[in-house]
Amino acid sequence: MSLGKSVRRLSVLGTYSRLYMSTGSPRRRACPAVGSITLQWCTRKFSSSSARNIIFTSPIPDIQIKEESLSEYLLPKFEHFGNRTALVDANNGKTYTYLEMRDAVIKLGSALHRLGYRKGDVLCMCSTNNTEYALLILACVTSGIILTTTNPAYTSGELARHLNHSGTSGVVVFKSLLPTVQEAIESDIKLKTTLKHIIVVGEMDGYRSFSNLLNDDGTCFPDNITFNPKDDVALLPYSSGTTGLPKGVMLTHRNIVSNLQQTRPQHIIKADDTILCLLPMFHGYGMIMILQNTLQDGGKLVILSQFEPVCFLKSIQQHRVTVLYMVPPMALFLARHPIVDTYDISSIRSHLSAAAPLGESLSREYEARLRYPVVQGYGMTELSPVATLDTLPPHHIGTVGPLIPNSSAKIVCSETGADLGPGETGELCIRGPHVMKGYLNNEAATNDMIKDGWLYTGDVGHVRDDGCFVITDRLKELIKYKGFQVAPAELEDLLLRHPGVQDAAVIGMPDERAGEIPRAYIVPNPNKKVTSEEISKFVEENAASHKQLRGGVEFLDEIPKSPSGKILRRILRNMC
């Protein structure tokens, strides 16, 4: 199977950034007056000192969070778990015990040190899921190297921009993606001088192989590094904003170690659990919530590189998977596809969906067929990545559950900025040790999102009387395609490069399977004839798969805009 097909099938999640879950609609009011707040379900009451200082806290008591680097936090655990199986590559059968994984991480960190990589240097991974990806993540975060990750569906232009913006000095690339890396370098003069190494997962003449690094003796592993967990960046995934291009999210050691500990009271992995890692490791969901969350508690991680129905179901049956992390398209498949009945997937004890809304009706359909509840969570890359998690028991269908401990939230009226109480709809803001350090080289965007320690998510919702959060809408205009984030402004910028386009606007169209799909509205250049097929082909050739115009192309005489020039997308939506 071609990598292109693999990436398209894997597009059940994205670079992006926000894990946010289902909707429900208990009573909702917009920006009313707020009175006192009392909750029955929570083990402690919400704070509410005044109508303008209403703070929601977790029903779970705060825990003692260790102020450690990821090296200090993870490596001793690998030693403790010993000969338990840690990683299994479902594609080729390769396995690592925890001790073997620890040794491989040390050898890899040592080899990178020999190549000249030091604390604070940036290394980039371009790959689909595999054991090498897991090892590189662990080797970088434990040796002080900042790892930035890219969507394997990137075009060469998108990749070149990412490599330059992140300050990458070396690339590790899956063999089949090497042509994209080569094209990105050839098209960019700066990259020809800044990239020191290209390391290939697989064998390729003229390139250093990843397997060669694993033959290092481990003696140069930098185990004497001094970390500042609060300030030192560990991972640099990229997240699309409401406008413009993707932004580098600086996640510190403290951010990640905190979030790994914060999620455990609501969702702990047991030593005898087997977890399927199908969701991409370039995203916070895959690299933190699935990979590192599993390994901190000694579980077994079975890694799949792509979503292929038979392989997916066969892996669950063969490996007796007990914890399944999903996105809504996977839940839809399991709820409706007839092939599911031909496999035994009864071993799954925990079903968790995130990354995009999972409607209440689909949740009930899923539970009716699989005879087990599906719980949901909410978060975003900027929150390392988890903010809320539902629990079993009890089960709060239609919600994303309560806050994780050591965090707080508030709901603010987008018009007045006033704090709102339970049942009142506004923008969700989160505060806690898992809030990112900021956006790389983008102080303005950082200040716009983080104010007085509060991260303004751009998502709209409310808190129920039982303390569970419901996400109902979003302020931001991102299109959510199967969990991937598509910034309309990025596509509009691309479309305006076409000689046949005079003006353009992009909106998301509702879609049962994908959540939303991009649709373009085009004002054609009167001096050059252009067809919808040509526009779609242009985007296909210049943007990643999840950004394609699956919602179609429509032609207009004029794009509706406000006096200040802002596109009035609501008018376009009303035209649908």
pLDDT given for residue 487 in this prediction: 79
Q: How far apart are alpha carbons 474 and 458 in whole angstroms?
A: 6
List, for residues 276-309, the tens digit of each pLDDT value: 999 999 999 999 999 999 999 999 999 999 999 9
pLDDT band at 20 (very low <50, low <70, confident <90, very high): very low
Residue 204 confidence class, pLDDT cut points 50, 70, 90: very high
What domains can you pick out in the chain, each with its CATH number? 96-226 (3.40.50.980), 477-574 (3.30.300.30)
Number of alpha carbons in the 13 Å side-chain half-sphere of residue 53: 4
- pLDDT tens digit string along 369-420? 999 999 999 999 999 999 999 988 888 898 999 999 999 999 998 778 899 9
* pLDDT (0 to 100) of residue 324: 98
Contact 437, 231 (CB under 8 A): yes
Q: What residues are paired with 238 via a beta bridge?
A: 248
Residues 6 or more apart whose Cβ sits within 8 Å of residue 444: none
- Treating both helix axes as pointing N-terminal to C-terminal, what angle do 70-81 and 98-114 enclose, rounded to 10 degrees? 140
Q: What pLDDT was estimated at residue 244?
A: 57
Confidence bin at 474 (pLDDT 50/70/90): low
Q: Within its chain, how far is the Cα of 390 from the centroid?
A: 18
How much is the pLDDT for 2? 37
> What's the pLDDT band for 566 if we cut at 50, 70, 90?
low
- State the Cα–Cα distance between residues 457 and 426, nearest whole angstrom: 11
What pLDDT shows up at residue 476? Answer: 67
Question: pLDDT (tens digit, 9 = 90+) per residue, 509-545?
Answer: 999 889 999 999 999 988 888 999 999 999 999 999 9
The β-bridge partners of 486 are 479
pLDDT for 110 = 98
Q: What is the pLDDT of residue 183?
A: 97
Q: Which residue has the higher pLDDT, 564 or 176?
A: 176
Query: What pLDDT score does 47 carry?
Result: 41
Residue 320 pLDDT greater than 70, yes or no: yes
Q: Is the pLDDT of residue 337 over 80?
A: yes
Model confidence band, residue 10 (pLDDT cutoffs 50, 70, 90): very low
C-alpha angle 78/130/338, rounded to 5°? 115
Quote the pLDDT of residue 12: 27
Element (H, E) at 426: strand 424-431
Find the mean pLDDT for residues 212-239.
96
Query: What are 549's two structure tokens?
Result: 């115009």
Mean pLDDT value of segment 254-274: 96
Average pLDDT, the chain: 87
pLDDT at 151 over 80: yes
Structure-token match 């904003």, residue found = 241
50: confidence class by pLDDT, cuts 50, 70, 90: very low
Instruction: Give 82: exposed, middle or buried? Use CB within 10 Å, 0-12, 13-18, 19+.
Output: exposed
pLDDT at 362: 82
The more confident residue out of 334 and 562 is 334
pLDDT confidence of residue 49: 39
Question: Comparing C-alpha atoms, which of 439, 333, 334, 429 is closest to residue 378?
Answer: 429
pLDDT confidence band for 145 (50 / 70 / 90): very high
Secondary structure element (H or E) that encloses residue 275, with its range: strand 274-277
Give pLDDT, residue 490. 82
82: which 2 tokens?
Answer: 């010993």
Distance CA 354, CA 53 (A): 30
Q: Can you spell out the DSSP letters for 192-250?
A: HHH--EEEEES--TTSEEHHHHTTS-STT--TTPPP-TTT-EEEE-EE--SSSS-EEEE
Question: Percent of the chain, pLDDT > 90?
Answer: 71
Mean pLDDT for the stretch of residues 161-165: 97
Q: What pLDDT score does 360 carry?
A: 78
Is the pLDDT reported for residue 46 higher than 70?
Answer: no
Of 22-31, 83-92, 205-214, 566-575, the poorest mean pLDDT is in: 22-31
* Residue-wise pLDDT tens digits, 414-470: 778 899 999 998 899 999 999 999 999 999 999 999 999 999 998 888 999 999 999
Percentage of the chain modeled with pLDDT above 70: 88
Q: What is the pLDDT of residue 52?
A: 61
